[in-house]
Chains A and B, each alone.
Chain A
Amino acid sequence: MEKMVNIFLFGKKYEVPANLTIMTAMEYAGYQLVRGCGCRNGFCGACATIYRIKGDRELKACLACQTTVEDNMYIATLPFFPLVKEVYDINKISVNESVMMQLYPEIYACVGCNACTKACTQELNVMQYIAYAQRGEFEKCAEESFDCVMCGVCSSRCPAGISHPQVAMLARRINGKYLAPGCGHLEDRVKEIKNGDFNDLIESLMQKPVEELKELYNTREIEK
């Protein structure tokens, strides 16, 4: 007999096997999920969930697909959170803190409560990356926020109304496009291809009998 636990989905009690995740426990209980379920592997942020264990004062946040149920767990999913996403033209923005002041001025109203960091389902130092964004240190903001799945739990807890994942998204794009070093060998190769330098080689591969290609493949040199 498998071990069972009691969980409370939106307040209603269900008995489910103890080894299930919150997501599979909901399905076990009979929910056919449409909202709040995406990649089921911890990458997409669709299944943000808040919970409290009975008797515990602390409200916790997690991804439902990545968290095993516990006895007396009170669960409420957060399948959508109204983040503020400002639109901008990536080719025309300024690459310093003025872009943040213009698009996301509320980050300067951060009160330093650290509720975002405590709530992060990826255990990121959210308040720290917002601090980097405030100072226009986009490279640091990008690195600190890199594992963000944009589930929005941080923003749901923020008294200043900050949409942390969108701030970080902007910082990462600025970093990727403008601040990271350019790549010479990539530029060269794009030019060579445009110039038609490989056309003859590719054309000959297009025409070769399969047997010759097999020989080529089976005897090719593999870089160590």
Chain B
Amino acid sequence: MYSEKYQESLAAVSAARTKNIAMEPERMTAKQKEDLLAAYHPDYKASEFSVLKIGPNKGDKVPHELAEMLQAHSRISASDIDLSSPDYETDVLVIGAGGAGTSAAIEAHEAGADVIIVTKLRMGDANTMMAEGGIQAADKPNDSPAIHFVDAFGGGHFAAKRDLLAKLVCDAPEAISWLSDLGVEFDKEADGTMVTTHGGGTSRKRMHAAKDYSGAEIMRTLRDEVLNRKIPVIDFTSAIELILDDSGKAAGAVLMNMETKELLVAKAKTVIIATGGAGRMHYQGFPTSNHYGATADGLVLGYRAGAKLLYAETLQYHPTGAAHPEQIFGALVTEKVRSLGAKLVNRNGEVFMHPLETRDVTAASIIRECSDRDNGIETGNGTAVWLDTPMIEEIGGEGTIEKRIPAMMRMFEKYGIDIRKEPILVYPTLHYQNGGLDINVNGMTTNVENLFVAGEAVGGIHGKNRLMGNSLLDIIVFGRNAGINAAKAAKTTEIGSLTLKHVDAFEKEIMDAGIETDAVSPKLLPDYTRKVNA
């Protein structure tokens, strides 16, 4: 149910629906896309970025909010911590318990290593859990890893590290197979053929899904497997600094109990950062589709220990965040809604673009529609465009929405909106950190030995924009990869004496660069409390 102020526009959308379903909007040319991005995509807004003054990426631009965290004080000084009697000792320490961390832990355990997972919330409190649309893999006869490569490389603006991307696409079918074998339920036809759809920027239908709970289905299965293997999970405990040994290898982490604030030391032969994304940094004031703990912690931990970042200046704004009602402002409306046929429509009922352009292009196009073109709909929380969901039922038949996107139906139903009958209001929301720590194809950072990274904290797999369905894929492929290689490296690693010298050295760099800040990092959690006495 929409209030009176929306009715005129709703009538226009409804009146044009049949015509809009039949129409096949043109795709934009390469030049049109470039111009659109430069004018409207948030990544191109120079005033929103700072130049880093210290650290491995000195001189590079990153969002203000990230620069503040990367150049903030540690929560500890080296002298606070007694490294001589660790609270935990293990072969492989996995920091983060989302899809990447749990995949890594399972594979490291399978390889015979002792593994410990630490996570600042619960296992599974991660963006993986919220990924709705699906996971890509080129496993249909008309598709191939090479076609997948070209789609992803172009979608990422030809900036991906090619060896990482090649691994992503070539290991994709096996990743699906591995998940199936663990018991993940993919949508299939009666004969076992995978039900696959397009995502923005794909040239073949290779999006595999588990309704619109794809990530949740994967995450809960991986979590169950970690529990079955009795891999220790230290929850509500964050890593706040990496520990190195005297030869500069990663050798553990300083941990903090999130509730009691007790500090603990974990010593490990190898460390895997799988801390996820950064939506809760709210870059440029955007709302986010991310989980509560998405605060770029892994980037900060790695950066202070000397690891390099790649493409940290590029973020993904998912084109369709919920713009109304305000209780779900910024929540993800899966791209699968468009895969199933819903088009983007402006205030006047006009389709203003092809619905399956890449995410960055689609987001920029919506921002243009709502700003310079002034064809948006006022919501009280800004402007928005319509995503015409009833088209799905007309194209796919009655019941398609309930069967294929039940989570979306439920999310809006709670606020009296039946998406089978009425369209929904959307606007871009901060969704994904394209950049992150720079790794080699074995999953190890390029310049800190025995420090591995997997999942959203990695930079370079996707280039400067990621296609739908390649993130669930990358957490599995590179999570498993990191687990296997970290277990292997652990076998030959002799740990020297532990040190936190790099923490004090970084503090000195802050001083020497004349950076004046009260900020401490990693951020760990956003602060949404109302400041009554402020």
A interface residues, Cβ below 8 angstroms from B = 19-21, 24, 27-35, 37-44, 46, 66-68, 85, 87-90, 122-123, 142, 146-147, 149-150, 169, 172-177, 180-187, 189-190, 193, 198, 201-202, 205-206, 210, 213-214, 216-218, 220-223
Contacts and interface: CB of A to CB of B under 8 A. Distances in A.
B170 A183 contact: no
Nearest to A85: B227
B142 A223 contact: yes
A89 B227 CA distance: 11
B170 A186 contact: no
Contact of B529 (A31, A39, A146): A31
A195 to B, nearest CB: 12
A181 B192 contact: yes
B291 A38 contact: yes
A174 B183 contact: yes
Interface stretch (B149-157, B263-271, B510-518): B149-157
A181 B191 contact: yes
Interface string B120-144: 0110110001100000011111101
A183 B192 contact: yes
B414 interface: yes
B121 A38 contact: yes
B112 interface: no
B180 A89 contact: no
B230 A214 contact: no
B228 A89 contact: yes
In the A-B complex, the 5 residue pairs with the closest CB atoms:
A173-B183, A217-B154, A181-B192, A176-B183, A176-B185
A28 B529 CA distance: 6
B8 interface: no
A177 B137 CA distance: 19
Contact of B192 (A24, A180, A216): A180
A43 B407 contact: yes
B221 interface: yes
13 contacts: A29-B530, A39-B125, A42-B411, A43-B216, A43-B407, A66-B411, A180-B180, A186-B173, A189-B137, A190-B177, A193-B174, A202-B170, A217-B154
B139 A189 contact: yes
A223 B204 contact: yes
Interface residues of B, number: 86
Contact of A223 (B129, B144, B182, B198): B198
Interface stretch (B158-166, B363-371, B470-478): B158-166
B181 interface: yes
Interface of A is mostly: loop
B155 to A, nearest CB: 8
A184 to B, nearest CB: 6
B145 A202 contact: yes
A170 B203 CA distance: 36
B286 interface: no
B55 to A, nearest CB: 29
A180 B130 CA distance: 24
A46 B123 CA distance: 11
Contacts of A41: 130, 289, 291, 328, 331-332, 411
Contacts of A123: 410
Contacts of A181: 188, 190-192
A90 B229 CA distance: 10
Given A189-B173, A198-B145, A68 B153 contact: no
Contact of A187 (B122, B177, B190, B292): B177
A147 B407 contact: yes
Nearest to A218: B30
Given A24-B528, A35-B259, A183-B180, 11 more contacts: A28-B529, A34-B236, A66-B414, A85-B224, A146-B185, A169-B221, A172-B183, A186-B194, A190-B173, A190-B177, A193-B145
Nearest to A222: B203
In this complex, which of A29, A183, A214 has the most chain B Cβ atoms within 10 angstroms of its Cβ?
A: A183
Contact of B213 (A87, A142, A147, A217): A147
Contact of B146 (A88, A146, A189, A205): A205
B417 interface: no
Contact of A185 (B139, B183, B211, B215): B139
B327 A43 contact: no
A45 to B, nearest CB: 9
Contacts of B494: none
Contacts of A177: 180-183
B153 A213 contact: yes
Contacts of B16: none
B225 interface: yes
B163 A206 contact: yes
Nearest to A32: B529
Contacts of B185: 142, 146, 172, 175-176, 180
Nearest to B227: A85
A68 B414 CA distance: 9
B532 interface: yes
Scoring B183, B215, B216 by chain A CB atoms within 10 A of each residue's CB, the highest score goes to: B183
B173 A150 contact: no
Nearest to B158: A210
Contacts of A220: 147, 150-151, 154, 203
A147 B154 contact: no
Nearest to B531: A30
Interface in B484-534: 525, 527-530, 532
Nearest to A37: B292
B216 A217 contact: no
B184 interface: yes
Contacts of A89: 228
Contacts of B289: 41
B258 interface: yes
B288 to A, nearest CB: 9
B477 to A, nearest CB: 12
B334 to A, nearest CB: 11
A205 B139 contact: no
A182 B188 CA distance: 9
A93 to B, nearest CB: 10
A65 to B, nearest CB: 9
